[in-house]
Amino acid sequence: MAVELDVFVGNTTIMDEEVYQLWLDGYTVNDAVTVRMEGGVLEEFEASADVLLSDTMDQYRTFQMCERLLHSPAKLANQLLFQIPPHRQAMLIERYYAFDDSFVREVLGKKLSKGTKKDLDDISAKTGVMLKSCRRQFDNFKRVFKVVEELKGPLVENIRQHFLLSDKLARDYAAIVFFANNRFETGKRKLLYLTFQDFAFCAGQLINNWTVGAVGKRSQYMVEDMDVDLDKEFLQELKELKILISDKDLLDQHKSLVCTALRGKTKAFNEMEANFKNLSRGLVNIAAKLTNTKDVRDFFIDLVEKFIEPCRSDRWTAADMKLYLTHYTNSAHILDTFKHQVVWDRYMGVIKSCIFKMYHD
């Protein structure tokens, strides 16, 4: 009896995005098959369980062979073994370097070393992210960190060009690199309410304003770590801001200007007036101590303890916070004997942005 077969021959590598995600998430072949069966794939394609198992195993093998190319994404475009269209390559790379916010939140600010890698079992259990996926994500963070620390120029651009990532993902990786380099404390109980995206936003502010390669200085400093190391000259200049709290007349004048601007505009005025000096000392002392490595590490915990918590206990709204910090910053420009306006604006621009992001009323 004659049997008719329709045969299609092609050389484009077939990759199922759902199976790729299961592989990235750390599922075994058998677990991936179960997930696919529960999703109704057998009925959709009228296939048997054996065919599904064979297909899943074949795709897993393909992904494993592609993985070494994904470690250096530019190689994926130049190799001849797999015929993968450009838009498919972009998807493979972007998803391979994607990460779980819950996972990165646990390692943010920690040294990307073997010591931290030993903790991945515990982090996996805590976050629910499979251990294999935790290892992939950690190794990606470490790989990006090692590559960019050898490169000159802007951090985000280096990550985007070398790893072919989207702008958003490149910026997230820049935040991870920046936090790992400066070892910012993010794991204290008082900081646990903050998400990775909260910290990533703050990292962007710090990179763009407080590093050696900050805006206005980029053409001068095309050097290694220009967007990773804080500008030591600027940190030293911050000590000059101490005059705002050490000079009693200046402190009283600053308070008077701010309170005059705020009166009648907020229900929290009485608390703002009563706590002005303590809040100002808190912000200025944070600035003055940033020449010390430990105080740089404690930057976020200091912002919470010395400013955000006192305001929260007085029931300030986010609008109150914005109003207060705007007038607090601008009023310093009217102080006759205060001569450090440029440093003040560079400092308070970042402080305001970070506090607005961190203050969840």
CATH number at residue 290: 1.10.490
Torsion sign across C-alpha atoms 287, 288, 289, 292: positive
Residue 81 has pLDDT above 90, yes or no: no
**For residue 107, is it within any domain?**
yes
Q: Are residues 269 and 341 in the same domain?
A: yes
Residues of the chain above pLDDT 90, percent: 80
Supply the pLDDT for residue 5. Answer: 57
Quick one: pLDDT at residue 24? 98
pLDDT of residue 31: 96
User: 129 with 73, same domain?
Assistant: no
Same domain, 345 and 244: yes
Are residues 238 and 290 in contact, defined by beta-carbon separation less than 8 angstroms?
yes
pLDDT score at 8: 46
**So what's the pLDDT on residue 177?**
96
Nearest CA to 171 out of 221, 218, 227, 109 is that of 227
12 phi and psi, to 5 degrees? Answer: -80, 130
Choose one of 161, 187, 213: the last residue of a domain.
187
- The answer to whether residue 194 sits within a structural domain is no
Q: What is the mean pLDDT of residues 43-65?
A: 90
pLDDT at 232 over 80: yes
Instruction: Kindly report, residue by residue over 143-199, the tens digit of the pLDDT.
Output: 999 999 888 889 999 999 999 999 999 999 999 999 999 999 999 999 999 999 999
Tell me whether residue 72 is in a domain.
Answer: yes
Check residue 360 and give its pLDDT. Answer: 79
Pair 249, 320 in one domain: yes
Residues 239 and 297 in one domain: yes
**Residue 208 is assigned to a structural domain of this protein:** no
Task: Evaluate if residue 7 carries a pLDDT over 80.
Answer: no
> Can you say how many angstroms the Cα of residue 92 is from the centroid of all Cα atoms in its chain?
21
The pLDDT, as a whole number, for residue 222 is 59
> What does pTM read for this prediction?
0.90
At position 313, the amino acid (one-letter code) is: S
Query: For 326, phi and psi rounded to 5 degrees?
Result: -65, -50
Q: Is residue 4 part of a domain?
A: no
pLDDT of residue 224: 57
The answer, yes or no, to whether residue 319 has pLDDT greater than 70, is: yes
Q: What is the pLDDT of residues 237-294, one digit of tens each?
A: 999 999 999 999 999 999 999 999 999 999 999 999 999 999 999 999 999 999 999 9
Predicted confidence band of residue 215 (pLDDT cuts 50, 70, 90):
low
Domain that holds residue 26: 17-97
Domain assignment of residue 262, yes or no: yes
Whether residues 258 and 308 share a domain: the answer is yes
Judge if 80 and 28 occupy the same domain: yes
Q: What is the pLDDT of residues 333-359, one digit of tens each?
A: 999 889 999 999 999 999 999 999 999
Verify that 140 and 49 share a domain, yes or no. no
Bridge partner list, 211? 230
183 in the same domain as 111: yes
Of 97, 117, 139, which closes a domain? 97
Based on the domain organization, do 167 and 270 belong to the same domain?
Answer: no
User: 243 and 351, same structural domain?
Assistant: yes
Do the beta carbons of residue 354 and residue 321 sit within 8 Å? no
In a domain, 199, yes or no: no
Residue with tokens 């790992």: 180
Name the domain boundary from 168, 187, 206: 187
Q: What is the pLDDT of residues 102-131, one digit of tens each?
A: 999 999 999 998 888 889 999 999 999 999
Closest to 332 (Cα-Cα) out of 265, 244, 269: 244
- Going by pLDDT thresholds of 50, 70 and 90, the confidence category of residue 325 is very high
Does residue 108 lie within any of the structural domains? Answer: yes
Count of structural domains, the chain: 3
Q: What mean pLDDT is reported for the chain?
A: 92
pLDDT score, position 201: 97
Check whether residue 321 and residue 351 sit in a common domain. Answer: yes
